[in-house]
């Protein structure tokens, strides 16, 4: 919810002050935090009324009447998880907290149920050859391969539209006519679509140089061969809270080494670690950018996302990660395509 800080008070604030917050906002709840911003309770009209009946003075600290078993969820929770929890608990407001239990947002059930139109652009990269799927993409661009009975790109657009996004730009090159003839201007799909036509392959970031629409808000860039349940609204909220120039969605990648790893020093074996499991965070092919980043993209040159992020980092830009823990699948190989079709009904219907 916007201006959620208005319903936050500290444990040392007076009951009188909290009563004024309840009266001014009309939201029937105040979130109580300690001096570091950590969630410690909530207060409603009922909590105050019960305290006054016990003889508590309204000028005393609100900590005397607050409900100490405050319900909350991690900030990374998906929209579906938050909505399900709030409906189950029959609550209309819910604080979302970070790993230190500090309140970073307060969500409102009515806002979750009401999908508002977002003015942020979504730029989908759909110009690739799909070489690793050669037998399938000989006559069809990879984003138009059917998974669950419809093109991958259609499912992607539907996912964004379901979260309130309606402005799209699609970069096209290989067999672009297939994509353009199917989606046209997007009207039949309830969205607006423009096309970024790459005269040559410009790479995963270079195509952004063709984007000339007015971008007054942060925008999302996503590869056109990814099926995911990422909360794109949360991605943008995180991007803005961090005042980032760029935010990269990252996924945890795990690999088990099939051999014992030897640690030695001058030929002397010091340790043997049998088949260790290694973990890395890797790019998920989904990004959020602030509009000013567009000025950094070279024109008419191949330019990829790693180069853009290295440039931003080298120029001391604010570059953050967003851990994508939701369903995610990059359809890059035949077995990925088969897996997507197997899982589609369970995940997207």
Q: Which residues pair with 14 in a beta bridge?
A: 61
Q: To 10 degrees, the CA torsion angle through 77, 323, 348, 163?
A: 70
- In the chain, where the domains are located: 4-110, 118-348
Mean pLDDT lowest for which of 85-89, 193-197, 239-243, 293-297?
A: 85-89
Q: What is the pLDDT of residues 95-135, one digit of tens each?
A: 999 989 999 989 888 777 777 889 999 999 998 877 777 77
Q: In terms of pLDDT, which residue wins out, 213 or 84?
A: 84
What is the structure's pLDDT at 38? 93
Please provide the average confidence, as pLDDT, over all residues in the chain: 90
Instruction: Give the span between the Cα atoms of 20 and 270, in whole angstroms.
Output: 66
Give yes or no for residue 32 having a pLDDT over 80. yes
Residue 108 has a pLDDT of: 84
Contact 345, 148 (CB under 8 A): yes
Q: Of the spans 65-79, 84-98, 287-301, which averages the highest pLDDT?
A: 287-301
Please report which residue ranges of the chain form alpha helices under DSSP H. Answer: 15-25, 45-53, 79-89, 109-113, 134-137, 152-161, 176-183, 203-206, 232-241, 305-314, 334-348
C-alpha distance across the termini of the chain, in Å: 28
Question: Averaged over 165-185, what is the pLDDT?
Answer: 94
pLDDT at residue 203 greater than cutoff 80:
yes
Q: Average the pLDDT over 130-146 and give the result.
A: 83
94 vs 113: CA distance, rounded Å: 14
Mean per-residue pLDDT for 214-222?
Answer: 90
- With a CB cutoff of 8 Å and minimum separation 6, the contacts of 333 are 132, 133
pLDDT tens by residue, 7-28: 999 999 999 999 999 988 888 8
168 and 191 Cβ atoms separated by less than 8 Å: yes
CATH code of domain 118-348: 3.90.550.10
Encoding tokens for residue 125?
């990269």
Decide: 105 and 202 in contact? Cβ < 8 Å. no
**Strands 93-97 and 73-74, how do they pair?**
parallel
Q: Which residue has the higher pLDDT, 4 or 80?
A: 4
What class, spelled out in words, does domain 4-110 have in CATH?
A: alpha beta
* Per-residue model confidence as pLDDT tens digits over 271-318: 999 999 999 999 999 999 999 999 999 998 999 999 999 999 999 999
Rounded to 5 degrees, what are φ and ψ at 331?
A: -90, 80
Is the pTM for the entire model greater than 0.75? no
Mean pLDDT of 81-106: 89
In this prediction, residue 212 carries a pLDDT of 82
Q: Name the DSSP letter for residue 116.
A: P
Distant-in-sequence contacts of 22-27, Cβ < 8 A, 24+ apart: 22/48, 27/93
Percent of residues, the chain, with pLDDT higher than 70: 99
Whether residue 30 is predicted with pLDDT greater than 90 in this model: the reply is yes
58 pLDDT more than 80 = yes
* Residue 78 backbone phi and psi in degrees, to 5: -75, 160
Residue 76: its pLDDT value, please? 77
| pLDDT at residue 1, rounded to an integer | 66
Segment (H or E) for 165:
strand 165-172
Torsion angle in degrees (nearest 10) through CA of 323, 329, 331, 332: 50
> What backbone phi and psi angles, to 5 degrees, belong to 115?
-85, 110
221-266 pLDDT, tens per residue? 999 999 999 999 999 999 999 999 999 999 999 999 999 999 999 8
- Residue that has been written with the tokens 């423009």 in this structure: 194
């Amino acid at each position: 919810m916007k201006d959620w800080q208005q319903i936050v008070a500290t444990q040392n604030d007076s009951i009188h002050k909290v009563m004024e917050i309840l009266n001014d906002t009309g939201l029937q709840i105040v979130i109580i935090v300690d001096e570091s911003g950590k969630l410690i309770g909530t207060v409603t009209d009922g909590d105050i009324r019960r305290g006054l009946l016990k003889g508590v003075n309204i000028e005393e600290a609100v900590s005397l009447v607050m409900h100490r078993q405050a319900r909350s969820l991690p900030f990374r929770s998906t929209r579906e998880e938050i909505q399900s929890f709030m409906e189950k608990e029959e609550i209309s407001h819910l604080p979302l907290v970070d790993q230190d239990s500090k309140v970073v947002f307060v969500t409102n059930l009515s806002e979750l149920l009401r999908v508002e139109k977002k003015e942020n652009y979504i730029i989908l990269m759909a110009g690739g050859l799909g070489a690793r799927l050669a037998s399938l993409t000989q006559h069809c661009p990879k984003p138009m391969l059917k998974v669950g009975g419809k093109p991958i790109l259609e499912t992607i657009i539907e996912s964004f539209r379901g979260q309130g996004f309606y402005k799209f730009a699609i970069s096209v090159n290989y067999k672009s006519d297939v994509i353009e003839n199917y989606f046209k201007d997007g009207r039949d799909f309830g969205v607006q679509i423009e096309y970024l036509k790459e005269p040559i392959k410009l790479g995963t970031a270079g195509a952004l140089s063709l984007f000339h629409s007015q971008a007054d808000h942060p925008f999302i860039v996503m590869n056109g061969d990814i099926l995911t349940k990422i909360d794109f609204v949360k991605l943008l909220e995180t991007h803005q809270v961090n005042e980032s120039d760029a935010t990269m969605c990252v996924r945890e990648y795990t690999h088990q080494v099939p051999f014992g790893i030897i640690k030695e020093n001058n030929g002397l074996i010091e340790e043997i670690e049998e088949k260790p499991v290694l973990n890395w965070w890797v790019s998920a092919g989904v990004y959020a950018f602030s509009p000013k980043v567009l000025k950094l993209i070279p024109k008419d040159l191949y330019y990829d996302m790693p180069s853009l992020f290295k440039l931003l980092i080298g120029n001391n830009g604010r570059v953050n990660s967003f851990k994508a823990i939701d369903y995610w699948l990059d359809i890059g190989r035949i077995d990925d395509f088969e897996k997507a079709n197997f899982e589609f009904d369970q995940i997207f219907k």
